[in-house]
Amino acid sequence: MSEKLRLGILGGGGDSLIGVLHRVAANMFDQYKIIGGCFNPDPQENKKFAEKLGLNTNRVYDSFEILINSEMKLPLEERMQVVSVLTPNFLHYPMAKKLLENGFNVICEKPLTTSYSEAIELEELQKKNNTAFAVTYTYTGYPIVRQMKDMIKNGVIGKIQKVDMQYYQGWINPIIHDKSQRNSVWRLDPKKAGISSCIGDIGTHAYHMLEYLTDMKVKEVLADLNHLYDDNELDIDGTVLIRFSNHSKGVIRASQIATGEENNLTVAIYGDKGGFRWEQENPNYLYYLTNDKPLQVLKPGNPYLSEFSLQDTKLPAGHPEGIFDSMGNIYNGVARKIKGIKNFDGGFPTLEEGVRGMKFIEKVVESNAKGNIWLNL
């Protein structure tokens, strides 16, 4: 299967950051052709945006329901093969469920759903029809992150002893102190965001990253969350202690009220032989630490890197790769899966990983609500 995959998109219209990110990513390896979708719930804005993209509006639908009904009437060789779900959280489950029931491959924004039970239901559906399903934990697509994963897998830093994950943003800080403003943001609305804002939006990235890199499963969590105001239902800041085992532990620190911070995701993983540090805002530098040698800095595109890291590196060494490239590598991993091309382990975040993410969110919220107690994950 060498032709481009026919891609439909739900949401992401207008000036949506997520929309731009996914559309650029889909076009990066010439693996997809965007043929339609439903970008905006307002029919006029929807068509206007599609025309801006240069799409044939015959495949641009006024609603998700019309999209499903219309696409299923088309011959299989014309139908959308993959659909990306870029809508607010509360729409992920009903859309993904309907897509799976009708045999579509799915690329879904995180969090996968707004509840663990919904996530389990999607997992069972996906196993029945064996379609590809990716959850876009974007940062796992960076080539140098994949290098770190390979080196940890190969025992370079030894047995993992300590993990410190930080994800700090400050964008809610100007909003949260004004009651009228905080009531107008969908990420702070439980009906649209689910049971968590900070942990559900960015804490889940940090959690997924640590399991992705270490190939270890978190067994227990203890959480302390901050809502800042009594009338604000969802967390906007939190600290989560984690245990892999009795002798391997760590912490996830996440905040949307870290004043002045932009998108500060920082990874620190320490084994008994060495350690790694990586910063999303400087994504082309992997810091390798040992006791007996000076600090080493690994950079993408160099011949000393692993095949997995180099596979999706698009530029020669010294040319920075960023967030678009990271998401592009995830889209490429999904395309390789659908086309039956060899994929490395970790080529894209799977539905199963999205299910783990939802369980983490629920257990963190529960731990905080029950007085900051340890809970099994």
The pLDDT tens digits of the residues spanning 181-220 come to 888 888 888 899 999 999 999 999 999 999 999 999 999 9
User: Do both 53 and 79 map to the same domain?
Assistant: yes
pLDDT tens digits for 25-80? 999 999 999 999 999 999 999 999 999 999 999 999 999 999 999 999 999 999 99
Residue 335, domain member (yes or no): no
Q: How many separate domains does the chain show?
A: 2
Domain final residue pick, 118, 138, 158: 138
User: Do both 127 and 257 map to the same domain?
Assistant: no
What's residue 181's pLDDT? 86
Within 10 angstroms of residue 66's Cβ, the number of other Cβ atoms is 12
pLDDT tens digits for 291-328? 999 999 999 999 999 999 999 899 999 999 999 999 99
pTM summary value: 0.95
What's residue 117's pLDDT? 97
What's residue 257's pLDDT? 97
Given a cut of 90, whether residue 141 has pLDDT beyond it is yes
Given a cut of 80, whether residue 1 has pLDDT beyond it is no
User: Do both 147 and 267 map to the same domain?
Assistant: yes
Residue 181, Cα to own-chain centre: how many angstroms?
Answer: 27
Residue 75, domain member (yes or no): yes
| Residue 223 CB partners (closer than 8 Å, separation 6+) | 199, 238, 239, 240, 241, 363, 364, 365, 367, 368, 372
Residue 336, domain member (yes or no): no
From the list 79, 103, 56, the residue with the least C-alpha distance to 7 is 79
**SS3 for 93?**
helix
pLDDT band at residue 246, thresholds of 50, 70 and 90? Answer: confident
What's residue 78's pLDDT? 96
Pairwise CA distance, residues 78 & 163, whole Å: 47
Domain span at 45: 5-138
Residue 341, domain member (yes or no): no
Given a cut of 90, whether residue 273 has pLDDT beyond it is yes
Q: Where are the alpha helices (DSSP H) in the chain?
A: 17-27, 43-52, 64-72, 92-101, 116-129, 143-153, 173-176, 179-182, 190-193, 198, 204-214, 307-311, 323-339, 351-369
What's residue 2's pLDDT? 60
Domain at 160, CATH number: 3.30.360.10
Burial class (CB in 10 A: 0-12, 13-18, 19+), 343: middle
Q: What is the DSSP letter of 69?
A: H
Name the region of 11 (left: φ>0; alpha: ψ -120 to 50; beta: rest).
left
User: Do both 69 and 148 map to the same domain?
Assistant: no
Within 10 angstroms of residue 332's Cβ, the number of other Cβ atoms is 25
Residue 283, domain member (yes or no): yes
